A and B are shown apart, each in its own frame.
Chain A
Amino acid sequence: MIQTINLQKLFATEEVETTALNGINMEVKDGEFVAIMGPSGCGKSTLLNILGLLDNPSDGEYNFYGTEVAKMTERQRAQLRKGSIGFVFQSFNLIDELTVYENVELPLLYLKTPPDERKVRVEEALNRMNIMHRRNHFPQQLSGGQQQRTAIARAVVAKPKLILADEPTGNLDSKNGEEVMKLLGELNDEGTTIIMVTHSPYDAGFAHRTVNLFDGKVVTENIRV
């Protein structure tokens, strides 16, 4: 379970100070599928980055599966991140120099998984995302949907407890978007906790509940019935 208390995030540049997050209290239980919505610039990505341990809050508390992480260094966060969180981005963020297979293999390499097991798990993830036939292609040679499926394969290959997705369908057409959402839904059905930022009410419909942000604050929460 993850929980934030009064989470604040300030961005101070030379000219202006932006309050991206202003007192976020939020709780996500194991196995939940939560959508985050809100107008552009309201702080969705900022929140997701903090939840994903990519960034530190300026203030507040963040309990990540029993550990207080708000004040951790990047090094400590990286340790905690490893193997326990999978990320999916709107712009895929695949490494162009690596093949599909190698992109997916990457998290396991960093986890020092033995080669036999690595092979089994990568192939499993590729099959599951239905891109096994593209395993030796480079990202540039794939369609957007295929790229995003690769990115999801990479996010799940280490079997993380938590998957964070920032507008995963933002760059995809509706057909490919639908497919990605189904995959996320399946993963969630198997017990993975998912937090997803989206602009699409349709996509949000796949989640158990939706958190609406406005100006760095949680304004409403809708629970699917």
Chain B
Amino acid sequence: MLSNSLKLAWRNLKAGGWYSVLNVGGLAVVLAVSVLLLWWVNDELRYDKFHPEADRIYRVNSRHGTGADEQFWRSAPAPIAVAASKNVPGIEGVTRVAGLYDFKTFLIDGKTFSEKSEDLVYADENFLDVLGGFQVRYGQAKQPFPTTNSVVLTEEIAEKFFGTPNAVGKTITVLDSNRVFTVGAVLANLPDYSTFQKKIIFPMSLRKRLFGGNGQWKRMDDDWGNFSFSTYVKLAPGVDPATIGKTLTTIQAAARRSDGDGSLSDYRLQPIATIHLYEPDGTNPGMQQVRMMSLIALFLLSIGCINYVNLTTARATRRAREVGVRKVVGAETGQLISQLLMESLLTLGLALVLAIGLIQLLTPFYRNMTNKTSGLSLLDPQVWMLLLGTLLVTLLLAGVYPALVIARFDPLKSLRGRGAMGGQARLRQVLVVTQFALATGLIISTLVIGNQLRYMRERDLGFNKDHTFTFYADSKTEQFKRELAGESSIQHIATATVELTNGMGSTSDTEWDGKTPGRTFMVNQLSVSANFIPDMGMKLVDGQNFTGTPADSTNLILNETAIRESGITNPIGKRFNFHGTDCRIIGVVKDFVFESARNKVAPTVLMSHPNWNGTVYVRTSGQNTSQAIAAVERLWKKYNPQYPFEYSFLDENYDRLYRDEQRTGTLFIFFAGVAIVICCLGLFGLAAYTAEQRTKEIGVRKVLGASVPSLVGLLSKDFLTLVALGILVAAPIAWWAMSSWLQGFIYRIDIQWWMIALAGALAVGIALLTVSFQSIKAALMNPVESLRSE
């Protein structure tokens, strides 16, 4: 009986012709794409959950300032970790991670390797143990750093440096300081879903030593004001993180009182499993993206299911007679249901096979778009669970209903003809409305997102990022400036502390006349050369530029936001105490952008201290960029023969600020496009079906003298009404959803009426195109043929 019904199902599928192709193909695309999407969602949601005790591990975030000055940082100062591990009951372990900028060039067996700073890190000796879940390939998890001169590598780096993953005991020379390090342990490459993504890990004890060794005035573990340590605590089971946060705040306050400044408001513990998707301030752009993608997956699946239900029940009209006959010769409803389900299962099974093929095809594309190294692998049982789960849901949603409906046909009515189908026509209408509501919603979202992305790209940055590359020259910036002066391919050379998007330092060490006592006013600080403002295309809205003379040591230029938020009126010439030195505001610069559109421009203080300007900005004429780079590189070889020349383009770095947004935006637009196409396919099939069903009516009407346009109108009218209804339903919902999405951006577009109108017009256009094709075909048919076809 089973093989029999399978055979029948197959034959029915074949009998369906192009309609079956549409059904199977559409489902395959929907399955493939939504599985990819859900896989992405799954990937995002499992971030940092691989730490076995993730539910007890928290990152210590800090909150600074109040009201408009409020800021949240994902870091803490070094000593709080020391205090936490010693004096706070309920804490089982504390570990810190800190950025490493002291060196990045290594000598191994005579070969030089220059690594990216973002791959380097200092970590406490116990970090593998406290965080847990990292796989130690070689060496010991308990003691990855046997000495201060130990280093931990990932397999990838060990392979790169030594040609073998087992590098324990081998040595690395740090070129910048001639220190020799011994590999203490090798970790398996970190999974994509780890927020901690470092490849070369040095012990925190080294940082401590370098800190003291630099002749600074405090030891690292006494420096309560330097919030640059990502600090993780593991709590004993059942301990309340809020209480621990309060305890840490009290400890910090006590320590800081003896220390002067009191900028910290409090500490808050954030579960490690949420740090990927939630910001310390509680906003969640990451989670929002996850929701958006889940929603599209859901939309896609529903659109696919709707297509399936629509096409299947529409076709059932033709099958009604068959079902009637079967009942007359003795089929029971149950048997018919299982037969029909078998057909759905076969259709879905075929779609699944196709979908798997499609997924394989799309994987490189998916990796590229999501920037994930591991696509989904068919060897992963989770992938199968996802695939089969999606299939099952689809079967339940799309297979069961038509089977129930069709199997319940009254045999007498179905033998007679159409009577049995009345109810389904209504349902199909509802489904078409739903589908077009979804499609219109997606079109609106696509328009809004596309426009927001463009707005961000084209946003006035307040300076000129074009044709500019930057490199770090440390103390030799003046030599570079001098020697490159005659180079024809170079227009301007300016210097500053850092490359703008790299994050300037910030300080609350500010004071001015009229400042509310006790107010914490955090500002970004950047030292620039006197020609930086004019040559980099920044604009002064008030006052004047730095003079380029020693007088600049007490001259400050503030950005508009700093003036506005500090509340200083008539700023030019006013006193502004900065780092304990009384300075004078000589100018106000138009706000310039150095962060993503999600962040507001922070108050910023520009100063001009030539020996703080280690980064060189080279603006080329735009024509001879390679010549300019070559010229700089020649000089570099002269001054730093041991090190490779590294530079980056400013505009690319700016693009990086928006990379995540662009990526999700592109993903969204792509998937929405797929959903819209699938929608059209469904409508196309349905329109063809309706036209086919009405062939006889059309023939009769033509014989009676109806014109082709009037027939096309007749056939399209019903669909267009449904589409219009769908637009009406979708517009307000999409408007609302996209407004709340835009809320996440400080710099955002307003949703315009034309976007809704355009989306509506597009939906109608698409519907018209698909439907009228069928209608015209039916209307042009020879009436004699249409009459004979019944």
Physical interaction between A and B: yes
The answer on a CB contact under 8 Å between A49 and B330 is no
Complex CA–CA separation, A49 to B327 (angstroms): 13
- Residue A87 is within 8 A (CB to CB) of chain B in the complex: yes
Shortest beta-carbon distance from B627 to chain A in Å = 75
CB of A49 within 8 A of CB of B8, answer no
* CB <8 Å contact, B325 and A94: yes
**B331 and chain A: residue at smallest CB distance:** A110
Residues of chain A within 8 A (CB-CB) of B332 are 75, 78-79, 82, 110
Chain B residues within 8 Å of A98, by CB? 8
Complex contact B328–A87 (CB within 8 A): yes
B325→A97 contact, CB < 8 A: no
Report how far A80 CA is from B8 CA in the complex, Å. 26
- Decide if A81 touches B412 in the complex (CB within 8 Å): no
B415 interface contact, C-beta 8 A: yes
Known: A109-B4, A110-B335. A93 touches B330 (CB 8 A): no
Q: Given the interface contacts A93-B325, A95-B322, does A82 sit within 8 Å of B415 by beta carbon?
A: no
B90 at the interface (CB under 8 A from A): no
Q: Which of chain B's residues 7-49 have a Cβ closer than 8 Å to chain A?
A: 8, 11-12, 15
Residue ID in chain A nearest B332 by CB atoms: A78
Q: How distant is A43 from chain B, measured CB to nearest CB, in Å?
A: 14
Which residues, 50 to 74 on A, are CB-close (under 8 Å) to B? Answer: 54-55, 74
B8: A residues at CB distance < 8 A: 97-98
Q: Which residues of the other chain, B, contact A93 by a CB distance below 8 angstroms? A: 321, 324-325, 328, 415
Known: A54-B411, A55-B412, A109-B1. A97 touches B12 (CB 8 A): yes
| Residue B333 CB within 8 A of the other chain | yes
Q: Which of B11, B330, B331, B411 sits near A97, CB closer than 8 Å?
A: B11
Please determine whether A106 and B326 come into contact, CB atoms closer than 8 angstroms: yes
B385 proximal to A (CB < 8 A): no
Task: Given A109-B1, A110-B335, answer yes or no on A95-B326 (Cβ-Cβ < 8 Å).
Answer: yes
Contacts of B324 in A (CB 8 A): 93
A26 within 8 A of B: no
Distance, CA A81 to CA B410, complexed state (A):
15
Q: Are B330 and A83 in contact (CB under 8 A)?
A: yes
B789 nearest CB across to chain A (Å): 14
Residues of B contacting A: mostly: helix
Q: Beta-carbon contacts of A2-30 to B below 8 Å, as 1s and 0s?
A: 00000000000000000000000000000
Cα(A89)–Cα(B325), bound, Å? 10
Distance between Cα atoms of A98 and B10 in the complex (Å): 12
Interface size class of A (residues with CB under 8 A): 20 to 34
Judging by beta carbons under 8 Å apart, are B329 and A97 in contact?
A: no
Tell me whether A154 and B411 are in contact (CB under 8 A).
Answer: no
Nearest-Cβ distance from residue B332 to partner chain A, whole angstroms: 6
Docked pose: A87 CA to B4 CA in angstroms = 24
Hey, what's the 0/1 contact readout for B380-401 against A, CB within 8 Å counting as 1? 0000000000000000000000
Query: Please, which residues of chain A bring their CB within 8 A of the CB of B11?
Result: 97
Please determine whether A81 and B325 come into contact, CB atoms closer than 8 angstroms. no
User: Are A106 and B329 within 8 A (Cβ)?
Assistant: yes
B548 to chain A, nearest CB (A): 90
B330 touches A107 (CB 8 A): yes
* A residues 202-224 in Cβ contact with B at 8 Å: none
A110 touches B330 (CB 8 A): yes
The interface residues of chain A lying within 8 Å CB-to-CB of B322 are: 95-97
At the interface, yes or no: A111 with Cβ under 8 Å from chain B? Answer: yes
Q: Per-position contact with B for A95-117: 1 when CB-CB < 8 Å, else 0?
A: 11110000000110111000000
Give the residues in chain B near A94, CB-CB below 8 Å.
325
Q: Does A158 contact B (CB under 8 A)?
A: yes
Q: Once the chains are docked, how many angstroms separate the CA of A70 from the CA of B330?
A: 19
Measured between beta carbons, the chain B residues less than 8 angstroms from A96 are: 15, 322
Interface centre among B1, B15, B328, B331 (most CB of A within 10 A): B328
A107 x B15 contact (CB < 8 A): no
In contact, A107 and B327 (Cβ under 8 angstroms): no
Q: When chains A and B are docked, how far (Å) is the Cα of A79 from the Cα of B335? A: 13
B65-105 with Cβ < 8 A to chain A: none
Q: Per-position contact with A for B360-375: 1 when CB-CB < 8 Å, else 0?
A: 0000000000000000
Interface contact B326-A111, CB-CB below 8 Å: no
CB distance from A142 to the nearest CB of B (A): 16
Q: Given A93-B321, A97-B11, A109-B4, A54 and B329 touching (CB < 8 A)?
A: no
A181 to B4 alpha-carbon distance, docked (Å): 33
Closest B residue to A158 by CB, please name it: B330
Which residues from chain B contact A95 at a C-beta distance below 8 Å?
322, 325-326
Q: Which residue of B lies closest to A55 (CB)?
A: B412
Q: A89–B414 Cα gap in the complex (Å)?
A: 14
Q: Identify which of B8, B324, B333, B412 gathers the most chain A CB atoms within 10 Å of its CB.
A: B412
Q: Which residues of A contact B15 (CB under 8 A)?
A: 96-97
Residues of chain A within 8 A (CB-CB) of B333 are 75, 78
B221-267 interface with A by 8 A CB criterion: none
Task: From the candidates A55, A78, A97, A109, name the one contacting B327 in the complex (CB within 8 A).
Answer: A78
Which residues on the A side are within 8 Å of B4 (C-beta)? Answer: 109
Interchain nearest-CB distance for B410 vs A (Å) = 8
Task: State A11–B322 Cα separation when bound (angstroms).
Answer: 25
A81 touches B415 (CB 8 A): no
**8 tightest CB-CB pairs across the interface, nearest first?**
A110-B330, A82-B330, A107-B329, A93-B325, A107-B330, A95-B322, A110-B331, A106-B329
Question: What are 15 residue pairs bridging A and B, where the CB atoms are less than 8 Å apart in the complex?
Answer: A54-B411, A78-B332, A83-B330, A87-B329, A89-B415, A93-B415, A95-B325, A96-B322, A97-B12, A97-B15, A97-B322, A106-B330, A109-B1, A110-B331, A110-B332
Q: A49-B412, A110-B326 are in contact. List 15 more A-B contacts (CB 8 A).
A: A54-B412, A75-B333, A78-B332, A78-B333, A81-B328, A83-B330, A93-B324, A93-B415, A95-B322, A96-B15, A97-B12, A97-B15, A106-B329, A109-B4, A110-B335
